Amino acid sequence: MKFFNSADIGKAAGAAAGKCKCNFFHIRKVTKFCVTLYVYNPCIMQPLVFEPFLRTMVWGGDKIAPYKGISTDIPHIGESWEISGVPEHPTVVADGPYAGKTVTELVKEFKGELVGKHVYASTGDEFPLLVKFIDALTDLSIQVHPDDEMAVRCHGEGFRGKTEMWYVIDAAPGAKLYSGLSRALTPAEYEKMVADGTITDALACYEVHPGDVFFLPAGRIHAICGGCFLAEIQQTSDLTYRIWDYGRLGLDGKPRQLHTELAKQAINFKVEDTYRTIYEPVQDEEVELVSCKYFTTNLYDLTLPYAKDLSEIDSFIIVMCVSGSGSLEVDGESLDIRQGQTVLIPASADDLCFIPDDGMKLLTSFIN
């Protein structure tokens, strides 16, 4: 056993303070054998909570507001953008010293300290992920998203493609979704099936249940159908090519625009054996659901506290509470979290502990 004297403590504080000239330290806890030293740095950001951007959609339902425990007069909420750097709709910090600032403004101000040095070097002042809760009362359009190369080629510099994933939170009996092609199609056959309204006959259809996961790389044709309530993690992009929309009218009373030709260029016509992501649920452990160049998403189904060392992760972490309640302890500071809430942990954080009340299920997303 090693004992530490005041000189040892001073050295430790000095090493920690070397990260920033603004640091000072205090001793939080002293026991017979242990000194717990916390370094306070006013330059280091605290966890952030944002005001959600609630979107009325022609297919939207009525579950998002009660799920999140909020009151609103907004009707037919189909999407709650929890954290968004999309230029037209950046989310705003709800409270604390940065209240009223957008996530984009914070990235510009804090750069790698907020998002991670390697992330900032790659994506600059853009916050790179968009996370949502989605409530589909009726079917969404059959659609596809371009990859990064096509986004730039067809829409210009600064546009990004959209790779995304879904985690099903709840589903009505018999609820389904489409993901991928069920049989080989040529581009010409695709066009004919869109024209005669039979394109769904060529899509892989899945009945869904809570806990189901689907990974949708750019180019995979897909649609969420009525009765699905899910979390979506995606690249920061709002590029969607609508293929088929059942002939319905939009909120403006006019037929919604289709993007048949752009979609044909974007679709990956390769047929896979399955499009469902298979994973083994394990309680009180970290379970990886998806890992790709754009994000890694893990699941935590917790009845006990779970501690995570963040010192080797050069990225922000988004925490979405999909059920239950508890708290997040970040570098010694505690923040309550409950179902429907989302928290952004800055890349400058070193230690994170999830502490459930009677049970809590979380999704975390970051960039490797």
pLDDT for position 20 = 40
246 shares a domain with 325:
no
pLDDT for position 45 = 81
Name the residue with tokens 């009362």: 137
Answer yes or no: is pLDDT of 261 > 90: yes
- Say which DSSP state 137 is in: S
139 shares a domain with 217:
yes
251 shares a domain with 113:
yes
Q: Are the beta carbons of 48 and 198 closer than 8 angstroms? A: no
pLDDT for position 243 = 97
pLDDT for position 3 = 39
139 shares a domain with 99:
yes
Answer yes or no: is pLDDT of 7 > 90: no
Give tens-digit pLDDT for 302-337: 999 999 999 899 999 999 999 999 999 999 999 999
Answer yes or no: is pLDDT of 13 > 70: no
- Please count the structural domains in the chain: 3
267 shares a domain with 344:
no
3-state secondary structure of 88: coil
Give tens-digit pLDDT for 103-133: 999 999 999 999 999 999 999 999 999 999 9
200 shares a domain with 94:
yes
Answer yes or no: is pLDDT of 9 > 80: no
Of 138, 152, 145, 281, give the one whose Cα is nearest residue 222. 145
123 shares a domain with 17:
no
For 71-80, which contacts have Cβ atoms below 8 Å and span 24 or more sequence positions?
76/137, 77/135, 78/134, 78/135, 78/136, 78/137, 79/54, 79/55, 79/132, 79/133, 79/134, 79/135, 80/52, 80/53, 80/54, 80/55, 80/132, 80/133, 80/134
Of 18, 223, 57, give the one whose Cα is nearest residue 140. 223
Q: Which domain holds residue 331?
A: 286-366
User: How far apart, in whole angstroms, are the C-alpha atoms of residue 318 and residue 130?
Assistant: 10
Q: What is the mean pLDDT of residues 14-22?
A: 39
Percent of the chain with pLDDT over 70: 88
CATH of the domain at 94: 2.60.120.10
Answer yes or no: is pLDDT of 8 > 80: no
55 shares a domain with 32:
no
Give tens-digit pLDDT for 264-284: 999 999 999 999 999 999 999
Question: Does residue 23 lie within any of the structural domains?
Answer: yes
3-state secondary structure of 144: strand
Question: Does residue 1 lie within any of the structural domains?
Answer: no
Give tens-digit pLDDT for 19-38: 343 343 333 333 333 343 44
User: How far apart, in whole angstroms, are the C-alpha atoms of residue 44 and residue 92?
Assistant: 19
Q: Are the beta carbons of 295 and 345 closer than 8 angstroms? A: no
